[in-house]
A and B are shown apart, each in its own frame.
Chain A
Amino acid sequence: MQAIFNKYPRLWRVFNLLLPFLATLAALAVGAVMLILLGENPLAAYSALMEGALGSTNALADTLVKATPLLLVAVGICIAFRGGVLNIGGEGQLVVGALASTVVGLAFPDAAGVVVIPLALLCGFLAGAVWGAIPGLLKAYFNVNEILSTIMMNAIAVQGMNYLLRAPLIDPVQLESASRIPQTARLAIAFDLPRLIPTRLHLGTGLAILAAILVYIFLWRTVIGYRIRAVGLNPHASRYAGINVPRYIVLALLLSGAFAGLAGAVQVYGLHHRMFTDGSATGFTGSAGFNGIVVALFGNLHPLGAIPASFLFGALLVGANKLQRVMQVPSAFIIGLNGLVVVFVVSSEYFKRRWAVRRETETIEKVPIASEAEEMT
């Protein structure tokens, strides 16, 4: 295998890109063994999973809808990781973004959708930015560990959401009734994000893909993006190069939070059309704030890599539901399968690096003329 890659360097690059998917296949193979041990037919199970995720227009649309918040969060996580900070506060930022955008929708019930929707999405974006900037400021200027502060900001956001949805923002109908479900009134139908086909697929998916492309351009084709990456790679060197390191740490976390906030706004306007809570964050977010991190890791911390990664995870989540309904496979299996996929992808990185090192040493051992000849081919 080594020899082939040395001969065709381009093949090596293709292989690198495909590696996460090969790792996923390997994880699915291990999952198949588990299924056999459970006494299920793995082929039938996986075809049920595939059918549930991709089998029909509706299934495909559901997968894309599920992937949308994952992608938006993951794109933000990429910025944070590239800036050398870990943002575990996606859940809280998503909740805050959703709340802010819901408030906009509730405040102007009679305005035109063309005005309200962009305004609401912007407010979600900004609210997430604020919620991300706080841990950023704490990290940059007071050296507070961002992993812990973002987790705590999650808890605070959830408490704030529970308070707002139980009292000031509660649906007047629920206030009258005895059940008092903590949710807001449904937003005006004029505010629904346009649906692309007669499915649940909404414009938010396109928005998320656009965001991924823009963030790629931002990180790799602009000066500010370059500085964020420089700070992430080596803060000391960046400081000597004249970069204001704390400022770019704040910016990285701020933008990271902003995209999670946008994800919250998109969930409200594209999917739920209202805000609700079950007391914890997951009720509304479906753990998208956390799963987005996994998606980002899976996509190699690259915004464009996050696009297929989010699709894959969306498919796994949607397909898992179907699998459970059809085959009574315990849902722990799906959780385990998700974990396996992540573990395999993460460890495939290790082998990639080992092969890369071996490749380099082999190239060096060759005489210069040979390597020049290789470059020419």
Chain B
Amino acid sequence: MIDQALILILSSVVLASTPLIIAVCGEILTERAGIVNLSLDGSMLMAAMTGFVVALKSDSVWIGFLAAMIVGAFFASIIAFGSIRLRQSQFAIGFVLTLLGDDLAAFLGQNYTRIPGPVVKHFAIPLLEDIPVLGPIFFNQSPVVYFAYILVGVTWFYLFRTQPGLRLRSAGERPEAAFARGISVNRQRYIYTIVGGALVGIAGAAYSLDIKIGWSDGHIRGFGWIALAIVIFGGWSPIRGAFGALLFGATKALATFLQRRFPEVSVVAFNAVPWVLMITVLLLVGSDFTERIITMAPERMQRPLQRLLRISPPKALGSTFVED
């Protein structure tokens, strides 16, 4: 029924969304603790470049991923230090780091652009890949994709079903209350900013070592911002965030598909589609729009719809907390 070409497209959508899913999970951890890591675009580029170069020199993709993690964590630690210790605007620091990361990655990596390097080997999961339709789409992928699946589940479970997760969220929601309960708010924030940054680093390396096969700054630039938008779209929940990432990947694939079907329409129109779509989505999700739609729905449906659609950022997101 479903033809082979469609399965191929869908499996490529899953692959293309993987780095976004990983980055979104990392950023959700950070933002749930109350810090915004705005440097995503820059730190992902730096991580992608470092990961590729290290993997090329060491001839091991895993060492490359490790290096990328360190770079991501380093960028995040600057933001944590700047906002917690120096009490500067997280947005300003994050933004400056974005610019720095973008430029630095483009410069330092200029000798390594568009050259072949090591890539992650694909690995079909035995049994699961034989499931019709779903198997080839989800389980005939690279290990990085499987890592993303696990990460989404683990992040969700950690955030909403464990004690450390509760402490994490308390630091982002009600820092004063958390502090009164004996939780070191700023330590929580340091830890999860850095952990989140390390995941963002993995996401960057996933581009250069898996999806894009090789390093070139032009191909990765911009995805960090998309990831930040998806965090909001996903209502700071890893599962919804993962769906958001897949949705974005699907629209991109659709745009490419339509472009082939309608060659007379300018390429530019299709290139702009995902961005316009993201703004529209942010508009729909972030506003009273959803509230209005929910009240239009039948009485019985309102509560579940509200749970499904309503999003609210962590209350203390982007604020600084002074312990005394």
Q: Could you tell me which A residues sit within 8 Å of B by CB distance?
A: 86, 88, 138, 141-145, 147-149, 151-153, 155-156, 159-160, 162-163, 166-167, 280, 287, 290-291, 293-294, 297, 330-332, 335-336, 338-339, 342-343, 346-347, 349-350, 353
Contact = CB atoms under 8 A, between A and B. Distances in A.
12 contacts: A141-B287, A147-B228, A149-B279, A152-B229, A160-B272, A162-B268, A166-B268, A280-B218, A291-B99, A293-B95, A297-B92, A297-B96
B87 A350 contact: yes
A335 B107 contact: yes
Contact of A145 (B99, B286, B289): B286
The 3 nearest A-B residue pairs measured at CB: A142-B287, A163-B268, A159-B272
Contacts, number: 99
Given A332-B107, A346-B88, A346-B93, A148 B232 contact: yes
By secondary structure, the A interface counts as helix
Nearest to A137: B283
Given A142-B287, A148-B232, 20 more contacts: A88-B95, A142-B288, A144-B283, A147-B91, A149-B282, A152-B278, A155-B272, A155-B275, A156-B275, A159-B268, A159-B275, A163-B269, A290-B99, A293-B95, A335-B100, A335-B103, A338-B100, A339-B100, A343-B96, A347-B82
Interface in B176-225: 218, 222, 225
A166 B271 CA distance: 15
Nearest to A342: B96
A145 B232 contact: yes
Contacts of B275: 152, 155-156, 159
A291 B102 CA distance: 13
Contacts of A166: 268
A214 to B, nearest CB: 25
A346 B283 contact: no
Given A148-B229, A294-B99, A346-B92, A156 B276 contact: yes
Given A145-B232, A156-B275, A347 B88 contact: yes
Contacts of B119: none
Contacts of B4: none
A350 B86 contact: yes
A66 B262 CA distance: 43
Interface string B257-287: 0000000001011011001101100110011
B253 interface: no
Nearest to B273: A159
Contacts of A287: 99
Contacts of A350: 86-88
Contacts of A343: 96
Contacts of B38: 147
Contact of B286 (A143, A152, A280): A143
B104 interface: yes
Contact of A159 (B91, B107, B271): B271
A335 B104 contact: yes
Contacts of B269: 159, 163
A350 B81 CA distance: 12
B266 A294 contact: no
Interface string B86-115: 111001110110011001100110000000
A144 B278 CA distance: 11
Nearest to A287: B99
A299 to B, nearest CB: 13
Contacts of B279: 138, 144, 149, 152-153
Contacts of A141: 287
Nearest to A145: B232
Nearest to B85: A350
Given A142-B287, A155-B275, A346 B82 contact: yes
A270 B88 CA distance: 37
